[in-house]
Structures are given as structure tokens and as C-alpha cells.
């Protein structure tokens, strides 16, 4: 049974997380701690988190596509490969010890933040792609989808950077394309959790409603304000994710 104060808390959290996640990723920093505190089982919290995140990524993908920042035909194969990668990662997560990866990941995220900070022109405009779409999809869409299924933090960051460096997209287009692949990987994990009956449906729907509204607002900001708005938020969220993972895996 979900209580009234939980409804208010979950909706507000989903709203803020959907807004932030659409712009720069990292919405899980807000949603997962809340769910872990009110859900009876950590696995239910993880499954519910995937449900509510799917609402946000669906909303963002739809609005980016409608605004012309995302060509759905171009990302069909990438979404399929991200789905498959995430599905495999989610199925393997119980059999893999991710502790070493969790300890290494903050260093990688820190390197990403420094790289982006030192290259202020990165993502301002489209540049010549370094990879073909086929190579990009099989290497990055599948690989980062797998990572999202098996671990997750920083997925949006890695995807956005891959789209900028691999396909030469500007930061606005990279953000839009990232949400489409996020949607695919979220759905794959959601399927696994749903089959295992590890979802608190009421909580997920309430938070998902907030996510949809927040993602709508976030996608509008990305489209209207562009790279100069996304960049500082992107750097801020990468820094927060890095600090959170350093605390969880090295200091806690």
C-alpha cells in the first residue's frame, strides 16, 4: 500500500530527476536512494527505478523526435543493439562481481569531466564522424547498453560523449540520441525485472508520471537553449556521479 506522503515524494523526485536526466543524465542519483529507502527489497527498488526511468526516456525521446533533434530511423539498429546489450547485462548481473569495475569507474568519469572541461568547443557543432554508423552501433550502442544492464551509473554520460566523438554530433543532437538508446536499455532491464516480479507498480507509476513531465520540460530546455545550457549541467552531473561513486566504493 502506498501512502499519501510517498505519492508526493515520489512524484516530486521523478519530476526533478526527469528534468535533470534529460539534459545531462544522472537522474538515478535522485531516484534510486529514495526508492531504496521506501521499498521493502533492494531488487524491487532497482526494478521500480527502471520502470519510472522508462517513462522519462520515452517522454524525452518522443519530444526530441517531434522537435527534429532526433531521427528515429537512424537509431533503430542502435536501439536494438542497446536493448540486446542491456538484456544480456541484466541477466548476467547476479553472476558477475562488479566491485572492481565500480572502483575503476569514478576514475573514468573524472577523466571524462576533465576532457570535456578542457575542450570548450566540444559539441558546439557537428563535426566529421570518426566511425560509420554500423561500427558505432555494434561497439558503443551494444557495449554501453551492456554496461547499463550490468551496472548503470554514467550510462548517459558515456553515450553522449560517444555520439560526439564517434559520430561527430553536436551536444544537443548527442543528448537527444542518448535518450533514445537509454529508452531501449531501460526497456530491456524492465522486462527482466517484470518477469521476476520485482517491481512496485504503484510507486513506479507515480514516479513515472513525474518523470514524463520533467523529461518534457528538460527536452524543451535542451532544444531551445542548446549547447551553452547543456554543457555546465552535463559537467555538474558527471562530477556529482563521480563523487558519489568515490564515496560509495572508496570511502564508505
Q: CA dist 170 to 123, 164, 174, Å?
A: 4, 6, 6
Domain boundaries, the chain: 4-251
In whole angstroms, what is the distance from residue 204 CA to residue 230 CA? 27
Q: Nearest to residue 21, comparing CAs of 157, 162, 201? A: 157
State pTM to two decimals: 0.90
Q: CA dist 43 to 130, 187, 211, Å?
A: 39, 16, 21
Cα angle 232-20-62, degrees, rounded to a multiple of 5: 115
In whole angstroms, what is the distance from residue 130 CA to residue 161 CA? 13
Query: Whose grid coordinates read 514524463?
Result: 212
Residue pair 54/201 in contact by the 8 Å Cβ criterion: no
In whole angstroms, what is the distance from residue 208 CA to residue 21 CA? 13
Q: CA dist 201 to 50, 125, 145, 195, 238, Å?
A: 11, 41, 24, 13, 30
Q: How many residues does the chain have?
A: 252
DSSP category for residue 132: -
In whole angstroms, what is the distance from residue 52 CA to residue 54 CA? 5
pLDDT (tens digit, 0 to 9) for every residue of the chain, 252 residues total? 678 888 999 999 999 999 999 998 888 888 988 998 898 788 899 899 999 999 999 999 999 999 999 999 999 999 999 999 999 999 887 676 666 666 777 777 888 888 888 888 878 888 999 999 999 999 999 999 999 988 887 888 899 999 999 999 999 999 999 999 999 999 999 999 999 999 999 999 999 999 999 999 999 999 999 888 888 988 888 888 888 888 887 776
DSSP category for residue 94: G
Amino acid at each position: 500500500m502506498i501512502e499519501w506522503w510517498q505519492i508526493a515524494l515520489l512524484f516530486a523526485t521523478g519530476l526533478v530527476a526527469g528534468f535533470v536526466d534529460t539534459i545531462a543524465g544522472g537522474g538515478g542519483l535522485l531516484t534510486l536512494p529514495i526508492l531504496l529507502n521506501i521499498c521493502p527489497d533492494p531488487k524491487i527498488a532497482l526494478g521500480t527505478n527502471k520502470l519510472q526511468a522508462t517513462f522519462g526516456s520515452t517522454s524525452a525521446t518522443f519530444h526530441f523526435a517531434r522537435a527534429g533533434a532526433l531521427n528515429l530511423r537512424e537509431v533503430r539498429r542502435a536501439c536494438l543493439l542497446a536493448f540486446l546489450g542491456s538484456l544480456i547485462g541484466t541477466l548476467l548481473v547476479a553472476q558477475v562481481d562488479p566491485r572492481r569495475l565500480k572502483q575503476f569507474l569514478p576514475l573514468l568519469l573524472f577523466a571524462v569531466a576533465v576532457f570535456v572541461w578542457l575542450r570548450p568547443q566540444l559539441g558546439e557543432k557537428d563535426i566529421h564522424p570518426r566511425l560509420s554508423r554500423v561500427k558505432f552501433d555494434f561497439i558503443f550502442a551494444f557495449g554501453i547498453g551492456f554496461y547499463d544492464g550490468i551496472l548503470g551509473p554514467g550510462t548517459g554520460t558515456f553515450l553522449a560523449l560517444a555520439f560526439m566523438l564517434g559520430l561527430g554530433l553536436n551536444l544537443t543532437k548527442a543528448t537527444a540520441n542518448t535518450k533514445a538508446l537509454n529508452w531501449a536499455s531501460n526497456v530491456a532491464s524492465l522486462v527482466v525485472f517484470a518477469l521476476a516480479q520485482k517491481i512496485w507498480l504503484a510507486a513506479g507509476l507515480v514516479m513515472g508520471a513525474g518523470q514524463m513531465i520533467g523529461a518534457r520540460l528538460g527536452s524543451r530546455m535542451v532544444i531551445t537553449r542548446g549547447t551553452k545550457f547543456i554543457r555546465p549541467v552535463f559537467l555538474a552531473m558527471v562530477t556529482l556521479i563521480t563523487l558519489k561513486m568515490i564515496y560509495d566504493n572508496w570511502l564508505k
